[in-house]
């Protein structure tokens, strides 16, 4: 499976994504999706490179969206990115992973994710780097 196929799936899926759902859409086994994800180290720069051809980078706007991926049963000591974060969905602090996505909307209204990052673990100083260079 190619990175472009998986990125196209992520861009086309309006709701929750999973290895099982991706395997149905891409017509491959969910184990192949899982192996693909485990064998690659994806960066925000790669995401931007994949979508920039479809963007008009003059006159658009950028916006950020933060989400907490709930991980209520994950051991805090064994998983680096899991911590306690405020969840707008639950209106309280929950155990999970804090994900921030940067979107770019061009003047014609096309909107694409162009970068992403995870904040710190909630156990001390939070850290996240999202490159602003396009």
Q: Is the pLDDT of residue 1 over 80?
A: no
Q: Where are the domains of the chain?
A: 1-40, 43-134
Q: Is the pLDDT of residue 102 over 50?
A: yes
Q: What is the pLDDT of residue 134?
A: 44
Phi/psi at 118 (nearest 5 deg)?
-115, 140
Task: State pTM to two decimals.
Answer: 0.61
Task: Kindly state the helix (H) or strand (E) to which residue 40 belongs, with its residue range.
Answer: none
Higher pLDDT, 6 or 134: 6
- 3 state DSSP class of 26: helix
Average pLDDT of the chain? 80
pLDDT of 106-116, one tens digit each? 898 888 888 88
pLDDT of 5-43, one tens digit each? 887 787 787 777 788 888 888 888 888 888 888 887 778
Question: How many other CB atoms sit within 10 Å of the CB of residue 131?
Answer: 13
Q: What is the pLDDT of residue 93?
A: 92
Closest CA to 112 of 66, 47, 26: 47
Count CA atoms within 13 Å of residue 23 on its CB side. Answer: 13
Q: What is the pLDDT of residue 128?
A: 47
Q: What is the pLDDT of residue 92?
A: 92
Phi/psi at 36 (nearest 5 deg)?
-60, -45
Task: Kindly state the helix (H) or strand (E) to which residue 75 belongs, with its residue range.
Answer: none
* CA-to-CA dists, residue 17 to 54, 69, 120, 127, angstroms: 22, 12, 23, 25
């Amino acid at each position: 499976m190619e990175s472009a196929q998986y990125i196209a799936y992520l861009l086309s899926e309006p709701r929750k994504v999973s290895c099982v759902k991706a395997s149905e859409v891409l017509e491959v086994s969910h184990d192949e999706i899982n192996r693909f994800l485990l064998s690659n180290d994806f960066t925000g720069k790669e995401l931007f490179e994949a979508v920039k051809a479809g963007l008009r980078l003059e006159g658009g706007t950028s916006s950020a969206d933060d989400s907490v991926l709930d991980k209520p049963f994950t051991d805090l000591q064994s998983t680096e990115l899991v911590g306690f974060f405020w969840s707008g969905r639950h209106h309280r602090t929950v155990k999970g992973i804090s994900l921030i996505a940067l979107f770019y909307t061009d003047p014609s209204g096309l909107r694409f994710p162009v970068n992403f990052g995870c904040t710190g673990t909630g156990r001390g100083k939070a850290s996240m780097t999202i490159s602003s260079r396009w």
